[in-house]
Structure 1
Amino acid sequence: MVGRGRPPPPPQVARDEGIRPRRRNMEDEENMYGKLKFNMPKFKGEDDAEAYLSWALKVDKIFRIHNYSGAKKVAMASLEFEDYANTWWEQVVTLREEKGDPPIDTWEDMKEEMQARFVPTHYKTDLFNKLQKLKQGTKTVEEFFKEMELTMMRANIQESENQTIARFFNGLNYPIKKIVEFQPYSNMVELVHQASKAERQVNEDIKYSKSKQYFASKLATSTPTTSVKPSASSTPSKQPSIQSRMKQTVSSTASSKASTGPSNVTCFKCGTQGHKSFECKNTNDKG
């Protein structure tokens, strides 16, 4: 016995009613995203794996918001090839036609073909080596974190957050690491924020130290210095030369001889000058 109420719709009607809302939503999304303006990026086929990976990432973002078919995606991407990339792609298409291979008609197959050509086999090994040696150095905390994160994504490294935290922490400069070590953080984003905060503190300390040294040097150069007169004991006495001493000796000897010469001698017996008393020849007494 069928219960009261409206009888269930036929299966075909139920399927149609279930499909129509989804189809309408897809059309609405297509109309909305179709109005977005975008420019497909150019690709020249540089000998640089990073250039290709950056280009593929940009094209991926465009294709994610447009419901294009695989063949249209391949056509749109290849239309933006320039220089070597354009010549290489035309050769790939021609060789596949000559061999009777099916054409590349999906974006995933196209990326696989381009990955094999423009990303060398040693690229991932180089990324692993770079990641092991990566340190902050002269980079800011934010630059260091972005480089580490991008390298990990390029190498497709899957590791726990604790391992990533340890990798980042050990690569920080020591003054920043010393401060962050005592700060609370529970995930990678909080650690980056704490490290950036510590970096600002370290930079402020450096500026303060430099300004302190500058003003100290300016103060030292502007303060007048008191001159101390040398004492008599500390002043070296000028000693006469040997020649001057010899001249003094000769002059003193000559003066002494001159003072005791015959013309200056007085006789005590006769009272006349010119001879001494024992040389006196005058026998007359004064008395």
Structure 2
Amino acid sequence: MSKLVEQFLKLKPPKFDGKGDPEAAPRWVEELEKAFEVLGCTKVERVTLVVYQLQDDANDWWKATKGRVFLKGTAQTWAMFTENFYGKYFSKSARERKLAEFMRLCQESMTVDQYKAKFARLLKISPRMVEDPQDKVRRFRDGLKLDLRSQMISLNIKDYGEMYERAQAIERDQVDRAAASGS
């Protein structure tokens, strides 16, 4: 475990103090999850490492909470930690605001790449909205600009990756055509 902690700290993972913007909590978890993926951490190791990154109010909260979350003799799982962490630092109202933002998300003036990045970021916060892969594809498609959306509907694509790639290719073609015609 000490070797894992050493490797983890070399990645310079962010600390969390529990103060400020409620959207900082999911961003912090996302950054740590990247480090966990690189290191191949188990669900139990993740909890051990994440607790090391809690400071100030967040550390005090965890000391007061961990005995209720992980009863004596039960494994400390990442899912249980994040559920309780979000319950404390990413309030229900903040989650509802993000969910509403996800439901209203439209490409508008964004490129397909920018739209996909925002879609993915909001989806990470509200994954239950599109648990079915077909719902994810439809939601992505329905947020595209009208001219792209109408072309995507006719293609009847059922895979998210393919939907993104096709939208990107069509957008690139539109840009090339506009440049060629001088508009």
Instruction: Report the TM-score when normalising by structure 1.
Output: 0.48
Matches within 5 A, 1:1-287: 37-63=10-36, 65-66=40-41, 72-73=48-49, 75-78=51-54, 81=55, 86=56, 88-89=57-58, 91-92=60-61, 96=64, 102=67, 106=76, 108=78, 111-157=82-128, 158-183=130-155, 185-209=157-181, 211=182
Identity of matched residues, %: 16
Task: Please report how far the alpha carbon of residue 144 of structure 1 lies from its aligned counterpart in structure 2 after TM superposition.
Answer: 1.2
5+ residue gaps, structure 1, are: 1-26, 213-287
Task: Please report how far the alpha carbon of residue 172 of structure 1 lies from its aligned counterpart in structure 2 after TM superposition.
Answer: 1.1
Tell me how far apart the structure 2 counterparts of residues 142 and 70 of structure 1 sit (CA, whole Å): 31
Opposite residue 176 of structure 1, the aligned amino acid is L
Tell me how far apart the structure 2 counterparts of residues 70 and 192 of structure 1 sit (CA, whole Å): 32
Opposite residue 205 of structure 1, the aligned amino acid is R
Opposite residue 141 of structure 1, the aligned amino acid is V
Tell me how far apart the structure 1 counterparts of residues 46 and 156 of structure 2 sit (CA, whole Å): 49
1:230-285 CA deviation, whole Å, 9 max, x = no partner? xxxxxxxxxxxxxxxxxxxxxxxxxxxxxxxxxxxxxxxxxxxxxxxxxxxxxxxx
Opposite residue 27 of structure 2, the aligned amino acid is S
Shift of the 111–181 alpha-carbon distance from structure 1 to 2, 3 Å rule, reads closer
Tell me how far apart the structure 1 counterparts of residues 4 and 177 of structure 2 sit (CA, whole Å): 52
Contact kept, 8 Å, 1:93 with 1:103, in 2: the verdict is: no
Tell me how far apart the structure 2 counterparts of residues 32 and 90 of structure 1 sit (CA, whole Å): 21
Find the residue that maps to 1:49 and give its secondary structure.
coil
**Higher relative contact order, chain-length normalized (CA < 8 Å, sep 6+):** 2
Find the residue that maps to 1:122 and give its secondary structure.
helix
**Cα root mean square deviation, aligned:** 3.8
1:165-222 CA deviation, whole Å, 9 max, x = no partner? 222222111222344344474412111111111101211232234x26xxxxxxxxxx
Task: Please report how far the alpha carbon of residue 129 of structure 1 lies from its aligned counterpart in structure 2 after TM superposition.
Answer: 1.6
Higher helix share: 2
Greater alpha carbon shift after TM alignment, 66-75 vs 128-137:
66-75
5+ residue gaps, structure 2, are: 71-75
Corresponding residue for residue 73 of structure 2: none
Opposite residue 49 of structure 2, the aligned amino acid is K
Greater CA radius of gyration, 1 or 2? 1
Contact kept, 8 Å, 1:131 with 1:148, in 2: the verdict is: yes
Tell me how far apart the structure 2 counterparts of residues 119 and 207 of structure 1 sit (CA, whole Å): 45
Tell me how far apart the structure 2 counterparts of residues 70 and 168 of structure 1 sit (CA, whole Å): 31
